[in-house]
Chain A
Amino acid sequence: DQQVKQNSPSLSVQEGRISILNCDYTNSMFDYFLWYKKYPAEGPTFLISISSIKDKNEDGRFTVFLNKSAKHLSLHIVPSQPGDSAVYFCAAFPYGGGTSYGKLTFGQGTILTVHP
């Protein structure tokens, strides 16, 4: 039972264009969502997060949108750069109740390739 799903295994975009990575979740208890970026032979690194009380969070070229009614979030990268080529994971956890903040449920990942 995959509670967090990234249905696109890969995405290819041209440098300078927008990259949109999508993620769906099924567990209504999730109320905090994160995106991680992973390069080969490295561990995932935090990119951006969003609380369920918001519908948008922006950090430089990266924006995450959350649609709670659809249980859907997306990561927009504008403009895309070749250095953005990596695997992107979305992750979720229930924020309240003293949960360990790294106890995350991950999606399968999307491989983003940005062509020069």
Chain B
Amino acid sequence: NAGVTQTPKFQVLKTGQSMTLQCAQDMNHNSMYWYRQDPGMGLRLIYYSASEGTTDKGEVPNGYNVSRLNKREFSLRLESAAPSQTSVYFCASSEKTHRGAFFGQGTRLTVV
């Protein structure tokens, strides 16, 4: 039972490059999320998908796009990476329980 799987685990990009972070969950959850974690800021929501076929902006969506490919997969794309996007990115999924979100292991992204 893998839960939430993110790839890659580490990535270094040059400013202006693009990349896609992949996320898949095997818990049959309807909702999926992308968060970023920065020092002193906690986790902040970038985008979320309440159900297959829908996506909505979170607190910090600028510079990102998302695709809910199917119920299992939710990808995050950086079209033109900037140093300010250096962060640890977490994908998560949830169902209607009191346990909130289940998180992946994270992707550490550095933009130079």
Binding site for B on A (CB under 8 A): 4, 6, 9, 32, 34, 36, 41-46, 49, 51, 89, 91, 93, 100-109
List the 10 closest pairs (A to B, CB-CB), nearest first.
A102-B94, A102-B101, A43-B103, A106-B42, A100-B31, A106-B43, A108-B42, A101-B94, A46-B99, A34-B100
Q: Which of the candidate stretches B11-19, B44-52, B63-71, B76-84 sits at the interface with the other chain?
A: B44-52
A41 CA / B105 CA spacing, docked (Å): 7
Beyond known contacts A32-B98, A43-B106: 20 more, CB 8 A cutoff = A43-B92, A46-B100, A49-B99, A91-B43, A93-B100, A100-B31, A100-B50, A101-B31, A101-B95, A101-B100, A102-B94, A103-B33, A103-B48, A103-B58, A105-B45, A106-B35, A106-B44, A108-B41, A108-B42, A109-B42
Binding site for A on B (CB under 8 A): 4, 31-33, 35, 40-45, 48, 50, 58-59, 90, 92-106
Question: Are A42 and B106 in contact, with the CB atoms below 8 A?
Answer: yes
> Shortest CB–CB separation between residue A59 and chain B, in angstroms?
11
Question: Are B101 and A104 in contact, with the CB atoms below 8 A?
Answer: yes
Please give, as numbers and ranges, the residues of chain B lying within 8 Å of A46 by CB-CB distance: 99-102
Question: Are B43 and A102 in contact, with the CB atoms below 8 A?
Answer: no
> Shortest CB–CB separation between residue A68 and chain B, in angstroms?
17
Question: Are B44 and A102 in contact, with the CB atoms below 8 A?
Answer: no
Question: Are A42 and B45 in contact, with the CB atoms below 8 A?
Answer: no
Please give, as numbers and ranges, the residues of chain A lying within 8 Å of B92 by CB-CB distance: 43, 102
> Shortest CB–CB separation between residue B98 and chain A, in angstroms?
5
A43 CA / B3 CA spacing, docked (Å): 11
> Shortest CB–CB separation between residue A90 and chain B, in angstroms?
9
A6 CA / B41 CA spacing, docked (Å): 10
> Shortest CB–CB separation between residue B109 and chain A, in angstroms?
14
What residue of chain B has the Cβ atom nearest to residue A33's Cβ?
B100
Please give, as numbers and ranges, the residues of chain A lying within 8 Å of B90 by CB-CB distance: 43-44
> Shortest CB–CB separation between residue A93 and chain B, in angstroms?
8
